[in-house]
């Protein structure tokens, strides 16, 4: 039976297998006359090397409803930038932001000088500067963001992600994509084994909190695929670290009424790069992700009026561990009936690493409760530096016009 169950406090758009991509794209072409759509692609050079980014770009050549495409490159030398620029010169409406370029670095230094730090290099900053470029141009009303390491990317994924916010027949201001992470085994450890048990441990510890109910309503809260209206993009403050996805959802919660927030099933199967666990190194991999996401959640709860004690973090990590180990049993049983591989030892190792990450994040938050890696909103940047949008456009265009 197709899944059409609505749970939680946000609307869910299901994939019931009845839509054809050509029909959605035809509608999106019409919608784009009223709500022009921009696509933002934060990427690393390695995603070009892996073949994932070239496949995405080849797919986008067949999409006719996008108003602009912004590819933001990080960890990319001049020669690598020129290589990518040459490879994608046939992609229409494409603008490339070379984040490692000297002119872009000068812009970032200017922001820091004016106490508007864009944070360290990473996906958060890449998304933020790309949103700024789209906002500066003023040509698009809907902004869509997705990752560039998607191995099995197709047009249906993009069309379904765009649709809920682009359609003028509904008034959704923010949409989150979700999908299945299954091959011959279950993936998505950060969501399955860390985030969902963590949020439910918080609910058990703190009791009913509307924000936690809201977060728990998302089927894949850590997904990088989102769509939003330009006004929301202008007002949001987002984290510069791995807390990006949760920090974004927190900003949406503060800025948008819940009946204008939704999630959409964008793929039957979604395969991308898997982060290493790095259980002994809190500066890398999923453990680093765990720490950043946990800190971001604590900071959001503090803004909601939650008061923490030092003992709270120890209790929370213990409750999380019990709930996470219980979830392993459920996933093992689910894998068995679906004839999937399942390594209980590796799942348990991940839970132990995530428990360590929660404890570490609690220590860091307790020591510096007001320290947040939030990049200023574009409203604030333009209020402080009225000419910054023009400078940003000039800088980006200068690279794209270079032969």
pLDDT beyond 90 at 321: yes
Return the biggest CA–CA distance within the chain.
60
Mean pLDDT of the 282-292 span: 79
Least confident of 167-171, 175-179, 270-274, 313-317: 270-274
- Using pLDDT thresholds of 50, 70 and 90, give the confidence band for residue 136: very high
Q: Give the Cα separation of 370 and 34 in Å (integer).
A: 42
Q: What is the pLDDT of residue 145?
A: 98
Percent of the chain scored above 70 by pLDDT? 95
Interacting residues of 331 by C-beta distance below 8 A, sequence separation 6+: 186, 192, 342, 347
One-letter-per-residue 3-state SS of 162-179: HHHHHCCCCCCCEEEEEE
Report pLDDT digits (tens) over 179-216.
988 889 998 899 999 999 999 999 999 999 999 999 99
CATH topology of domain 11-400: Spore Coat Polysaccharide Biosynthesis Protein SpsA; Chain A (3.90.550)
Report pLDDT digits (tens) over 226-238.
999 999 999 999 9
What residues pair up with 37 in beta bridges, in sequence order?
A: 66, 142
> Which 3 state secondary structure label does DSSP give 239?
strand
The token duo for 217 is: 């309503």
Q: What is the pLDDT of residue 1?
A: 42
**Mean pLDDT over each residue of the chain, to the nearest integer:** 92
pLDDT beyond 60 at 274: no
Task: Compute how many other C-beta atoms are within 10 angstroms of the C-beta atom of residue 127.
Answer: 24
Mean pLDDT of the 25-31 span: 98
pLDDT beyond 90 at 126: yes
pLDDT beyond 80 at 2: no
Q: What is the pLDDT of residue 278?
A: 63
């Amino acid at each position: 039976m197709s899944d059409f169950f609505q749970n939680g406090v946000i609307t869910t758009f299901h994939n019931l297998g009845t839509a054809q991509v050509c029909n959605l794209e035809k509608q999106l072409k019409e919608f784009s006359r009223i709500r022009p759509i921009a696509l933002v692609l934060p990427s690393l050079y390695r995603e070009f090397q892996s073949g994932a980014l070239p496949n995405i770009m080849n797919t986008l050549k067949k999409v006719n409803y996008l108003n602009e495409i912004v590819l933001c490159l990080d960890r990319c030398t001049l020669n690598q930038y020129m290589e990518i620029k040459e490879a994608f010169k046939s992609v229409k409406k494409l603008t490339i932001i070379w984040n490692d370029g000297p002119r872009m670095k000068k812009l970032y230094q200017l922001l820091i000088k004016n106490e508007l730090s864009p944070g360290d290099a990473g996906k958060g900053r890449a998304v933020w500067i790309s949103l700024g470029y789209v906002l500066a141009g003023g040509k698009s009303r809907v902004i869509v963001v997705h990752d560039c390491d998607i191995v099995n990317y197709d047009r249906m994924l993009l069309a379904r992600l765009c649709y809920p916010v682009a359609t003028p027949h509904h008034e959704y201001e923010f949409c989150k994509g979700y999908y299945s992470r299954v091959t011959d085994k279950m993936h998505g450890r950060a969501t399955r084994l860390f985030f969902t048990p963590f949020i439910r441990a918080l609910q058990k510890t703190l009791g009913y909190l509307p924000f936690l109910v809201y977060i728990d309503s998302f089927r894949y809260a850590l997904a990088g695929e989102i769509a939003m209206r330009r006004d929301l993009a202008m007002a949001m403050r987002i984290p510069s670290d791995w807390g990006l996805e949760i920090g974004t959802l927190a900003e949406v919660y503060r800025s948008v009424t819940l009946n204008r927030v939704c999630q959409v099933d964008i793929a039957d199967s979604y395969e991308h790069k898997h982060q290493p666990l790095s259980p002994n190194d809190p500066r890398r991999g999923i453990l680093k992700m765990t720490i950043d996401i946990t800190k971001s959640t604590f900071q959001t709860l503090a803004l909601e009026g939650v008061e923490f004690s030092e003992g709270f973090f120890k209790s929370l990590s213990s409750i999380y561990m019990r709930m996470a180990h219980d979830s392993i049993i459920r996933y093992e049983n689910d894998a068995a009936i679906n004839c999937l591989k399942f390594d209980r030892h590796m799942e348990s190792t991940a839970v132990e690493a995530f428990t360590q990450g929660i404890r570490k994040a609690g220590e860091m938050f307790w020591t510096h409760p007001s320290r947040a890696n939030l990049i200023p909103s574009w409203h604030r940047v333009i209020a402080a530096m009225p000419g910054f949008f023009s400078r940003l456009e000039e800088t980006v265009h200068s690279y794209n016009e270079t032969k």
